[in-house]
Structure 1
Amino acid sequence: MNIYLPILAFLFLSSCNENVTSEVSNIKVILDTDMGSDCDDVGALAMLNEYKNQGKAEIKGVIYSSGVMPYGAGVIDAINRYYGNDKIPIGASYDSLVGDPIDKMQAEKLSKDTAAFKNKIIKNTDAIEQTQLIRSILTNQPDNSIVYITIGHTKGLYDLLVSKPDTISRLSGMELANKKIKKWVALGALKASNQEKRYVKDWNFFSNGTAKYSKFVVENFPKPIYFIDAGSDIMTGKSLANTPNGNIVRTAYRDWLWNVEKKLLEDQRPSWDLMTVYFAVEKPEKHFETIENGYLEFDIEKGCRWNKTDSLTNQYFVLQKQGYQDEISNYLNKMISKRGMEE
């Protein structure tokens, strides 16, 4: 049974009235993740929850759009609840067209351990269907207000864009995106900006059946797009070793590192997804360089590459500035472990 449908309207109304007291300008966010493929998705969601609790971001919804693995939504629910944010709406794919076929993080085990993690969602079908949720969130938000962040595949955003008018909104998905979304911040097209003009294929835009959806979204998204290429040499995870054993973030990092690489928390993991959230919320010029005047050329077979233009487009390529690895790593490690250390 979909446990959220009876309270869907309530969640939307309450989410519109969140009190944000931070002096820092807060942003309204939808996070779209492939939770379970890698542990940095866990770190990114933990970080975004910490931003919410600091008053720097409003999480309007979290989307799990990689339906091949049916337990990602349960891990999302467990993380949100660990941070005291159990009212955040969660949407998920009900199909199995896109996603990692290997449960690297043992998301099924984590989602089913409701005694430990208190999550109410276990399977994706316990959450709201993703397109229904995204359309509902956008309909109830001010114009040009939502930052849509993808740290996984692109099927969720694709499904929004091709959705038709319905009882939720008389607008098509493309019209809703154009009216309500401020920008799309995407971890994708890694290494596409290179002097050799090589075509590259990265995980989020090309793997697990997502390439054709990525191509459509990249070429048709109506608002500004920021492609993030950052985090490969920013290591995080060791700070979780000192947090309580019941910390879902610690457990997920520990399990992924051991299951996939036979490593420990001290060995850490690159922070692609965390850096994407960091840019979306704080956009620190000290740590990021934003390249303008260009566009992402996308070929399903060859790959993608960043091409320069003589004038501005709606696309931007964001690079991590070098020389700050330790500084950024320390900051991100602090962010993902702060909740656990306060217990």
Structure 2
Amino acid sequence: MPSLLRLLLPALPLLACCSKVQLIIDTDLGFDVDDVGAIAVGQHLAGTGKADILAILHNTAFYEGVGGVDVLNSFYGNAGFPLGAYIGAWGSSPAAQGAQNSYTSMIEEAYPSAVQNYDQTPSAVKAYTEALSAAANGTVVIASIGECTNLRDIITAEPDLFFSKVKEIIYMDGGYNFGCGDSSGSGTSPWLGSTEDCDGAAQFVVDAIPPSIKQVFSLNGGDVYTGSRFSDATPCGDGPVKDAYRRYTNDGSRPSWDPIAVYMAVNGYDSLYSSLTPVTVAVDYYGRESYNADTGANQFQVWIDGDHNGDVTREIDNMLCSAPCRGDCSGYEMNSMKNCYGGHGATDLEQPSTSSAGTMDLSECLALCDETDGCEGVAVSQAGSGQVECYRKADIDIAACDSYIPFDTWVRK
């Protein structure tokens, strides 16, 4: 038996790797802050072992857009994958540049990162090609949470590679993402100018995808407002995600189309009180969609049960408020807004009991628990710069813990 175990154990990391969703995010970060939330959700799911982020691409000509992406990746301690930027005119007008910069340059100045703008990163086609080439056939899931410009360009440049590697695409679709901001079919957006290089992109992509690749169309999120926990009244989190939301929403909240699309791309289409409906989708040149009864194709709509919008809000906010993992947090389960301590659902392992084990990254706190006899989990409060105050706990009973927004308790699986 020991010999057999020695033979099997080396294979375990490979099995763990391949069970993760192989995720690419294609974003128009800058136009709306829900793209920030989407990348935060993707990074949280990567840190907790649910996904491998293979690449993040930016799909408008906003010069600083890809820099905003890199700020978020750096904050989460997970930037070791290709970044790429769209090459074209869409979103390059002065009006469009201004419309995309309500928070982006602010977080880039406050949280410097290696990549600040389009001059410092390869094209989206090159980044797509690198990421897809390294992936196994039929494994890649794409969350398309912006315009379809990059998807059009990679399919045009490398159709065989794209069609062999991609398993599913979930589109955050609708009049804006598919229609490039042009609701009239005139070829112009009332506030962004010409949509010429973006027009026709969604139609091309949807029509080009072969039956082997599932296409999921999502309009979820308009009634799910997240980010309100970032306000002073109910503070949570810190860093560029919080700063971007507070700036864009004026300390309010925002519909959550894009975070929901990324969440479902990783956790499945029934994971947010949701379900799939087979459909047949027609998209015209200006991105206008029509849905018909299923004819046996590879297209689906995903819908959330509106009675559970509040539950979905809490789930997304839990991830937005969580400290960045910056390592491997897959051995623990997060219990958001739970503070467990002596007499309130846990036994304190620090001496004295009210003291902290120190200020550190979340993954370091969890590793410290792994090294501590009797430790079942940690309560953490954020300490700035993405780090946490770490409190080791034993005998955890989540049901008996206090509910308190600034704390999360992570329990060993």
TM-score by length of 2: 0.66
Which of 317, 338, 344 is the matching residue for 1:333? 317
1:271 match: 256
Matched, 1:288 2:274: yes
Return the alpha-carbon distance in structure 1 between the equivalents of residues 39 and 286 of structure 2: 32
Give the equivalent residue in structure 2 for 1:196: none
Partner of 1:219: 207
Higher helix share: 1
Aligned to 1:31: 25
C-alpha displacement of 1:104: 4.4
Give the 3 Å change call, closer, same or farther, for CA 325–149 of structure 1 in structure 2.
same
Shift of 1:96: 2.5
Report how far residue 26 of structure 1 moved. 1.6
Corresponding residue for 1:228?
A: 218
Residue 32 of structure 1 aligns to a residue whose secondary structure is: strand
Whether contact under 8 Å (1:62, 1:91) holds in the other structure is yes
Q: Please tell me whether residue 70 in structure 1 is matched to residue 63 in structure 2.
A: yes
Task: Summarize the Cα distance change of 1:28–1:319 in structure 2 as closer, same or farther, 3 Å threshold.
Answer: same
Task: Tell me by how many angstroms 1:332 deviates.
Answer: 0.6
Could you list the per-position Cα deviations for residues 284-314 of structure 1 after superposition, in whole angstroms to 9, with x for gaps in the alignment?
Answer: 526112111x2111223582111113x3101
Structure of greater relative contact order (alpha carbons < 8 Å, 6+ residues apart): 1
1:90 Cα offset (Å)? 1.1
Structure 2: how far apart are the matches of 1:125 and 1:302? 30
1:239 is aligned to: 229
Could you tell me which runs of 5 or more consecutive residues in structure 1 were left unpaired when the two chains were aligned: 1-18, 164-172, 190-201, 259-263
SS in 2 for 1:120: coil
In the alignment, does 2:288 pair up with 1:303?
yes
Q: 2:78 — aligned with what? A: 85
CA contact (8 A) 1:22 1:54 kept: no
TM superposition shift of 1:177? 1.5
Q: Are 1:92 and 1:125, in contact at CA under 8 Å, matched by a contact in 2? A: no
Quote how far apart the aligned CAs of 1:45 are: 0.2
| Same amino acid, percent of matched pairs | 23
- What do the CA deviations read for 1:97-147 (whole angstroms, capped 9, x no partner)? 347442242323432x1xx31311111221121101101111111100110
> In the TM superposition, what are the counterparts of 1:14-29 in structure 2 within 5 Å?
25-29=19-23
Matches within 5 A, 1:34-113: 34-67=28-61, 69-98=62-91, 100-101=96-97, 102-111=99-108, 113=109
Q: Unaligned regions of 5+ residues in structure 2, if any? A: 1-12, 182-194, 325-380, 388-413
Shift of 1:244: 5.5
Residue 154 of structure 2 corresponds to: 160
Q: Which residue of 2 aligns with 1:204?
A: 177
Structure 1 residue 239: Cα displacement: 2.3
Q: What is the CA deviation profile of residues 250-286 of structure 1, one whole-angstrom value per residue up to 9, with x for unaligned ones?
A: 111111113xxxxx2xx31110001101111112526
Counterpart in the other structure of 1:13: none
SS state at 2:223 partner? coil
Among candidates 155, 169, 176, match of residue 184 of structure 1: 169
**For 2:322, what is the secondary structure of its paired residue?**
helix
Give the Cα–Cα distance (whole angstroms) in 1 for the partners of residues 33 and 14 of structure 2: 29
**C-alpha distance in 1 between matches for 2:237 and 2:306:** 33
Task: Name the CA distance, whole Å, in 1 between partners of 2:313 and 2:173.
Answer: 20
Native 8 Å contact 2:178 2:286 kept in 1: no
RMSD: 2.1
Q: 1:44 to 1:30 in 2, by over 3 A?
A: same
> What is the rounded CA distance, in whole Å, between the counterparts of 1:253 and 1:21 in structure 2?
37
The one-letter code sitting in structure 2 at the alignment partner of 1:248 is P
SS at match of 2:81: coil
Q: State the secondary structure of the residue aligned to 2:200.
A: helix
SS of 2:306's partner is coil
Alpha-carbon distance between aligned partners in 1 of 2:18 and 2:88, rounded to the nearest angstrom: 39
CA contact (8 A) 2:40 2:72 kept: yes
Residues 320/138 of structure 1: CA separation in 2 closer, same or farther (3 Å cut)? same
Matching residue of 2:338: none
- The amino acid that maps onto 1:207 is C
1:175 match: 160
Output the CA distance in 2 between the equivalents of 1:138 and 1:280.
17
As a proportion of its length, which structure holds more strand? 2
**How many residue pairs get matched?**
290
- The whole-number CA distance in structure 1 between the counterparts of 2:100 and 2:17 is 40
Offset of 1:324 from its aligned partner?
0.5
